[in-house]
Structure 1
Amino acid sequence: MKEVTIYTDGACSGNPGPGGWGAVLFHGDKRKEISGAEPHSTNNRMEIQAVIEALSLLKVPCRVTVYSDSAYVVNCFQNNWLKGWLRNGWKNSKGNPVENKELWQKLWELMGIHEVTYVKVKGHSDNPWNNRCDELAVGAIKQMRAAGRD
């Protein structure tokens, strides 16, 4: 099984506000950078979207390590929140509907294809690939604004 390393980040200019996401994928000596933006989003939505977009690029089932500075994304899997949501009909521990349900559903679908491990990294610190993802996410917001799409 191919091994892939992915770094992801999301950003928002205001929360909610214009949002961007970025990801860097590594397989062997190959590196691919991707990014995108939405005119109205939240930081949490962009964090999830970054992982979805990166996993969506993989053409065959892979063993993937995702590095993210998002406690929201990492804790969802390390603390089995998603399995609880599935068991509770997409309700959180307080009985309220899960926020960003459609994104979590898409991510869960992709995780059915790949063997994914999540690792929390400290944001805006000394991790060059997390910093690069932040640059990509912020840059995608700027590009969208420059194109007048916000």
Structure 2
Amino acid sequence: MHETGSPAPAESRPSFVVYTDGACSGNPGPGGWAALIRNAGAERVLTGGEARTTNNRMELTAVLEALRALPPGADVVVYSDSAYVVNAFRQGWLRRWVESGWRKADGGPVENRDLWAAILEETARRTVRFEKVRGHAGVPENVRVDRLAVRAMAAYRRESGAGPR
């Protein structure tokens, strides 16, 4: 498991569980994202989107916006159905990209560098663990953020002239 941030005594840190998802119609196309944040029995939902984006950008934006909504020093578990997001942390892709000057193994530039860099800043302020959840496997929270992301995307579909889904 990959954790980031500096540890503090566990009893003094707030603990959060976050579910995130992104959706896109076309790639690129209109997209939406959603995050469900739970802490001490309370929950908060965040959503948004863009008129022209990619699914990966929406997945990353959901994580970024959720982390930005949490206090520094928090313990966080982020559940995502995006292998792109989870593997970047758990398999060390992100660390290697930074070490290689934001280049992938094939020598090409890392896509979405702006979002990855912002996520790194946010994870440095918290202890964050990323966990993979199977998409469309009936996990209620994952189903919920998927629906919220699709709903958020709908407004941007209209804005882009792509019509209803």
When normalised by structure 1's length, the TM-score is 0.95
Describe the SS at the equivalent of 1:36.
Answer: strand
Query: Of 155, 161, 165, which aligns to 1:143?
Result: 155
> What CA deviation, in whole Å up to 9, does each residue of 1:80-126 have, x standing for no partner?
11110111000011111101000000000000001100000000121
Q: Which runs of 5+ in 1 are unaligned?
A: none
Structure 2 SS opposite 1:49: helix
Residue of 3, 12, 15 corresponding to 2:15: 3
Is there any run of 5+ residues in structure 2 with no aligned partner, and where?
A: 1-12
Q: How many residues align?
A: 149
Q: CA deviation at 1:143?
A: 2.6
Q: Which of 106, 112, 127 is matched with 1:100 structurally?
A: 112
Counterpart for residue 132 of structure 1: 144
C-alpha change, 1:86 and 1:102, in structure 2 (3 Å) is: same
Once the two structures are superposed, the pairs formed by residues 4-23 of structure 1 within 5 Å of their partners are: 4-23=16-35
Question: Which residue of the partner structure matches residue 119 of structure 1?
Answer: 131
Q: 2: distance between equivalents of 1:124 and 1:8?
A: 13
Give, in whole Å, the separation in 2 of the partners of 1:94 and 1:79. Answer: 17
Cα distance in 2 for residues equivalent to 1:125 and 1:139? 19
Per-residue CA deviation, residues 34-85 of structure 1 (Å, 9 max, x unaligned), is 1001001111110000000000011332000000000000000000111101
Query: Which residue number in structure 1 is paired with residue 45 of structure 2?
Result: 33
What value does the CA root-mean-square deviation take over the aligned residues? 1.1
Which stretch shifts more, 119-128 or 65-74? 119-128
Q: Does 2:66 correspond to 1:54?
A: yes
Q: Percent identity?
A: 46
C-alpha contact (below 8 Å) 2:79/2:133 kept by paired residues: yes
Equivalent-residue separation in structure 1 for 2:101 and 2:156 (angstroms): 36
Taking the TM superposition and a 5 Å limit, the aligned residue runs for 1:48-87 are 48-87=60-99
d(CA) in 2 for partners of 1:95 and 1:123? Answer: 30
User: In structure 1, how many angstroms separate the alpha carbons of the residues matched to 2:157 and 2:120?
Assistant: 31
Report how far residue 149 of structure 1 moved. 5.7
Runs of 4 or more consecutive aligned structure 1 residues displaced over 4 Å after TM superposition: none
How far apart in 1 are the matches of 2:65 and 2:57? 12
**Secondary structure, in 3 states, of the residue corresponding to 1:123?**
coil
Q: Which moved more, 1:112-121 or 1:55-64?
A: 55-64
- Larger Rg, first or second structure (1 or 2): 2
The TM-score with structure 2 as length reference comes to: 0.87
